[in-house]
Structure 1
């Protein structure tokens, strides 16, 4: 069946974007069977080519889920034994999944990275290459998650020991789902708040698009009437709301973006913990063929610039450049130019650390040659803005990159190559 994997994966992953939950479950089950019967490497190739870059968040989630299975079947030894270029592509793909807007996809991405990180060959790979800033950030997150898990295990063990010593029934820690345990923490919330959250989650995750629309409107009402309630529960609420920013129904998708633009001036810095997920979802909408969705996404970015910490926003947008194309790439680059001017005077290191790699990405020969002519003006604007704030230091930093980077920088800024 190996020769049919690409077509089968394409059709089944497409079905994951279907509004019918029954069809989604059937497609997911079929993909699981496929992964278990074909060559793992063949399955991985198909998923990475078709599902990772897909616009639909559920397709990416399903892709990540089955990639985990394929990687576990192959093992870290074989995964890290390929050519350097192949390993680079694999690692960059996993980093992208680990930064996805969907919490499950992020979890799968981190799990796959953890599979590689636990093998001795991964240390050798890191020594032979310069890990990207994204990879370093995700690795730090993975290690942090592992540490938290270890602490939980220690807590569980100490509880077991205490129950034995005191000769009392086992004080076992609940293994229920995160959603159920979340609702049981009533010591931190009033019963009324818990009921409000349950209702909000029910509406936002409903099957009918009209009901999901009601959930979006209810979230806006809560934000206006009780912003503290939303701020306190920002992570669980927005982990679900962010899915509506890429809803399969265009009306829900557009309205969710419009609501986010309205909530941003109210919530302001409370949105920072969810900024990466929000930026990922919003920038994906910049390539939408629906003019209403595109316009709403642009308004969200404008609201972000006006009301959020621009240094955090610059970091999130700069990291998206490598994963975008088309109009989304143009718009994000335009906004980066605006952010550089406001961020550099206070935090020059942030600009150097995150914006310069984005500029180097553009200035490589293949990028300027293969992209449409529309890219050159926005790259020129970004380069000019950086040159205005950094001066000759920009050329100094460029000199440490590939020779073509310096040449293209001087060409685009009409400077002499030294």
Structure 2
């Protein structure tokens, strides 16, 4: 069919022939469906955008033609399609999104749902999470809450819905909140949702949904002028608003009572103006004005921590850009302020921990002594005050992308976390700290590398051996011989 050839035109012709055969529901394709899907999927990431586009369209035709016969291909196809949703030309992204929609509409819902939860919602790319969230919502609506309540995936989906409802991307939060509303509309699903999220997260989600519902009554996004018009009535009790057509006031009563102590009404006009001022300053063109915005954020964290906590995701959408600011003075100030607000807000920062860690680690290789020192200080504060299990996961992910001094800095922090995390979540240490050790030991020249590297790797190996004991040797047995030799040399086995 031309797919095995290097020539771009032959590949396009081959993909076009597959598209036509799929349209006619060819028995030839059905007999070799797996091989055909593998060949087509391998071209989705082709550097030639026209070839990539043709492959994506061909996959859509295959899903439309063979429907549930394509169930076994869902995992791999969703992986490659989600990969191009965010790092390809716009017309390729649109085609990938459309083909994912065709996939969801035609294969077994459970297969599609699992693939999206495995491949999509965990992505660090906002566009991928948004796409996955939208498709998951469409699957929930297709299945219906009654049938969904009896599926084994409902509990996991409840946890996913809670995460998406607090996502840093506005559209993703919207889809996640709509999923939450569906859970609240069914008694069994509501119970599952309550058990799947922490009390603090539950309160935050319910606050956001109620605020959004109130804003929708006044218009899509009420301006300050609109808020001023009803300011005279701000002290009067606010009516409880329906979450959606699927949720009545009784269905979420118990849930709201549980979160009642922390659920807040929309900010007063003064608070709204403060937030608007903060966003304006953080996005200003002049670097001195951006510094003012960073300073204002610190002041608000100290004087109005509840206001900042309630709006933490939106605020960090702006603030995280200042951590990576092109001006060194802004960047240093943002890192200094971050170190302070971590100690003030603590767990309220959990929804933005990914962006927070990424912002810090990107500055650990800074040649500016003050910026580097500020990044290290923020790193230490995060270990002292934030969720250590989530930090280990994020440190491990960031470590794989780092080099130089930053790599050693993060490895040292993973070492610090090992002793605390292992007694509580040994599987997290095995899945996130061990790969860092194996990768470090994978260099055959390790014993003669710089003293700094050897010292840091030795500390990590020793910390792991201290908590794991002989289990570390068992895990090492599955590694290549030179990794085992380096580990033995470091620990003196």
TM-score using structure 2 length: 0.52
Counterparts of 1:234-273 in structure 2, within 5 Å, are 234-273=312-351
Which residue of the partner structure matches residue 50 of structure 1? none
Equivalent in 144, 158, 175 of residue 133 of structure 2: 144
Which residue of the partner structure matches residue 171 of structure 1? none
Q: Aligned pair in 2 of structure 1 residues 367, 339: CA closer, same or farther (>3 Å)?
A: farther
Shift of 1:206: 0.6
Which residue of the partner structure matches residue 123 of structure 1? none
| Cα distance in 1 for residues equivalent to 2:276 and 2:319 | 13
* 1:349 maps onto 2:334 in alignment: no
- Check the 8 A contact 2:324/2:331 in 1, yes or no: yes
Shift of 1:219: 0.5
Aligned CA RMSD, in angstroms, stands at 4.3
**How far does the alpha carbon of each residue in 1:210-266 deviate from its partner, in whole angstroms, 9 at most, with x for none?**
110110001011101000000000001001100100100000000000000010111
* 1:376 maps onto 2:454 in alignment: yes
Which residue of the partner structure matches residue 288 of structure 1? 366
Which residue of the partner structure matches residue 16 of structure 1? none
Which residue of the partner structure matches residue 213 of structure 1? 291
- Check the 8 A contact 2:121/2:133 in 1, yes or no: no
- Check the 8 A contact 1:315/1:350 in 2, yes or no: yes
Counterparts of 1:58-97 in structure 2, within 5 Å, are 74-75=52-53, 77=55
| Cα distance in 2 for residues equivalent to 1:184 and 1:149 | 31
Gaps of 5+ in 1: 1-66, 81-87, 99-103, 121-132, 156-179
Q: Aligned pair in 2 of structure 1 residues 307, 79: CA closer, same or farther (>3 Å)?
A: farther
The alignment of Structure 1 onto Structure 2 pairs a total of residues equal to 296
| Cα distance in 1 for residues equivalent to 2:484 and 2:57 | 35
- Check the 8 A contact 1:238/1:274 in 2, yes or no: yes
Secondary structure in structure 2 of the residue aligned to 1:365 = coil
Secondary structure in structure 2 of the residue aligned to 1:286 = coil
Equivalent in 314, 325, 339 of residue 392 of structure 2: 314
| Cα distance in 2 for residues equivalent to 1:134 and 1:323 | 20
Gaps of 5+ in 2: 1-44, 59-75, 104-117, 142-173, 179-218, 228-264
| Cα distance in 2 for residues equivalent to 1:289 and 1:240 | 25
**How far does the alpha carbon of each residue in 1:142-197 deviate from its partner, in whole angstroms, 9 at most, with x for none?**
533532477689x9xxxxxxxxxxxxxxxxxxxxxxxx956669773333222221
Counterparts of 1:121-160 in structure 2, within 5 Å, are 137-138=122-123, 141=129, 143-148=132-137
Shift of 1:362: 1.3
- Check the 8 A contact 2:287/2:330 in 1, yes or no: yes
Which residue of the partner structure matches residue 22 of structure 2? none
| Cα distance in 2 for residues equivalent to 1:356 and 1:343 | 13
Which residue of the partner structure matches residue 189 of structure 1? 267
Shift of 1:75: 2.8
- Check the 8 A contact 1:71/1:112 in 2, yes or no: no
Secondary structure in structure 2 of the residue aligned to 1:338 = helix
Counterparts of 1:31-42 in structure 2, within 5 Å, are none
Q: Aligned pair in 2 of structure 1 residues 190, 368: CA closer, same or farther (>3 Å)?
A: farther
Equivalent in 202, 205, 223 of residue 280 of structure 2: 202
**How far does the alpha carbon of each residue in 1:102-159 deviate from its partner, in whole angstroms, 9 at most, with x for none?**
xx99xx9xx6996699499xxxxxxxxxxxx998832994533532477689x9xxxx
**How far does the alpha carbon of each residue in 1:340-388 deviate from its partner, in whole angstroms, 9 at most, with x for none?**
1111122212211211121122121368489755322211110110011
| Cα distance in 2 for residues equivalent to 1:181 and 1:70 | 41
| Cα distance in 1 for residues equivalent to 2:449 and 2:123 | 29
| Cα distance in 2 for residues equivalent to 1:356 and 1:135 | 25
**How far does the alpha carbon of each residue in 1:33-77 deviate from its partner, in whole angstroms, 9 at most, with x for none?**
xxxxxxxxxxxxxxxxxxxxxxxxxxxxxxxxxx99975773383
Shift of 1:315: 1.2
Shift of 1:286: 0.5
- Check the 8 A contact 2:419/2:463 in 1, yes or no: yes
- Check the 8 A contact 1:319/1:358 in 2, yes or no: no
Counterparts of 1:101-120 in structure 2, within 5 Å, are 118=100
TM-score using structure 1 length: 0.61
